[in-house]
């Protein structure tokens, strides 16, 4: 499976429509990838709280439709990254997973909202559903940024058959050590591959950390980036997780009474 993770730079003051158009150009550079992942709230930027509700849209709104069409054009699976979804009278941090024909295969609304010096819990509602989606490459577990700090979510996705974790993120500076450790730990402890796409750039004085990663089931970072805008790529064997779990069957050694 050929993977491309787009570490998109958030531009201060850029209109949402311009950002969507630019993201589609970045996706064009990923032609040939089987799976493409985008960052969290990339169409407006995580720290643009005043635009959350103004620029919200339904789960099948213009951002999702544009990404869906590009997924169909490229013939790739795409985790859309997330956007502010308006659903009824509530707002959610939601991402959509599209198939090779641009069809929606599933969606995920961020369960753990970030409360540290953030207005996210004030403006948005937490999701309540776990998303694990089947593909010919295995099952993809969807997650968003702050979720990384909650290992029980990833263990539950593993229990539901996940072989790959997709992490869309707007993780900020300076917590680089935490980001690196958690990317590797979530993969290692569940014998899963993990693909993260973090934002880059500066918004309202806050710097996004970048350092998107592709991590194998041993917890080894096989592709990564720095702080700036980038596309990271890796080719993961289609049966890599199966092989590692057979060689080192740690999940089979779990104490049943703790599950």
Residue 113's pLDDT is 98
Q: Where are the beta strands (DSSP E) in 75-161?
A: 77-87, 90-98, 104-109, 132-135, 138-144
Q: Choosing from 16, 70, 86, 110, which is the catalytic residue? A: 110
Q: What pLDDT shows up at residue 13?
A: 83
Q: Is 252 one of the catalytic residues? A: no
Q: What percent of the chain has pLDDT over 70?
A: 100
pLDDT per position as a tens digit, 125-147 = 999 999 999 999 999 999 999 99
Tens-place pLDDT, residues 99-120: 999 999 999 999 999 999 999 9
Question: So what's the pLDDT on residue 196?
Answer: 98
Instruction: Name 3's bridge partners.
Output: 35, 234
Q: 189 pLDDT band (50/70/90 cuts)?
A: very high
Verify whether residue 145 is a known catalytic residue: yes
Task: Name residue, tokens 């593993």.
Answer: 158
Average pLDDT, the chain: 97
Helix (H) or strand (E) holding 79: strand 77-87
170 and 45 in contact (C-beta within 8 Å)? Answer: yes
The band of 238, judged by pLDDT with boundaries at 50, 70 and 90, is confident
Domain count, the chain: 1
Q: State the catalytic residue, choosing from 9, 30, 86, 145.
A: 145
Q: What is the pLDDT of residue 256?
A: 83
Separation CA 152–CA 41 (nearest Å): 24
Distance CA(87)–CA(56), nearest Å, equals: 9
Q: Identify the pLDDT of residue 17.
A: 95
pLDDT bin (cut points 50, 70, 90) of residue 12 is confident
Catalytic annotation on 104?
Answer: no
Query: Domain of 11: which CATH number?
Result: 3.60.110.10
Is residue 20 over pLDDT 90?
A: yes
pLDDT, tens digit (0-9, with 9 covering 90-100), for 36-45:
999 999 999 9
Write out the residue range of the structural domain in which residue 19 sits.
Answer: 2-258
**Global model pTM greater than 0.85:** yes
């Amino acid at each position: 499976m050929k993977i491309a993770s787009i570490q998109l730079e958030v531009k201060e003051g850029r209109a949402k429509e311009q950002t969507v158009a630019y993201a589609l150009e970045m996706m064009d550079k990923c032609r040939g990838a089987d799976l493409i992942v985008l960052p969290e709230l990339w169409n407006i930027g995580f720290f643009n709280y005043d635009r959350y509700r103004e620029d919200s849209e339904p789960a099948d709104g213009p951002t999702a439709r544009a990404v869906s069409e590009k997924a169909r054009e490229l013939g790739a699976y795409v985790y859309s990254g997330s956007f502010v979804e308006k659903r009824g009278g509530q707002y959610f941090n939601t991402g959509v997973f599209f198939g090779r024909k641009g069809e929606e295969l599933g969606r995920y609304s961020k369960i753990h909202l970030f409360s540290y010096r953030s207005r996210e819990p004030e403006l948005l509602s937490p999701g309540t559903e776990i998303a694990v989606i089947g593909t010919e490459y295995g099952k993809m577990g969807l997650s968003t940024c702050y979720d990384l700090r909650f290992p029980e979510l990833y263990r539950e996705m593993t229990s539901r058959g996940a072989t790959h974790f997709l992490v869309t993120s707007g993780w900020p500076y300076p917590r680089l050590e935490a980001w690196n450790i958690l990317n590797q730990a979530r993969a290692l402890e569940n014998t899963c591959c993990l693909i993260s796409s973090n934002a880059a750039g500066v918004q309202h004085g806050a710097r996004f950390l970048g350092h998107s990663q592709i991590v194998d089931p041993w917890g080894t970072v096989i592709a990564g980036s720095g702080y700036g805008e980038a596309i990271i790529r890796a080719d993961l064997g289609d049966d890599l997780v199966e092989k590692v779990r057979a060689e080192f069957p740690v999940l089979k050694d779990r104490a049943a009474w703790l599950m």
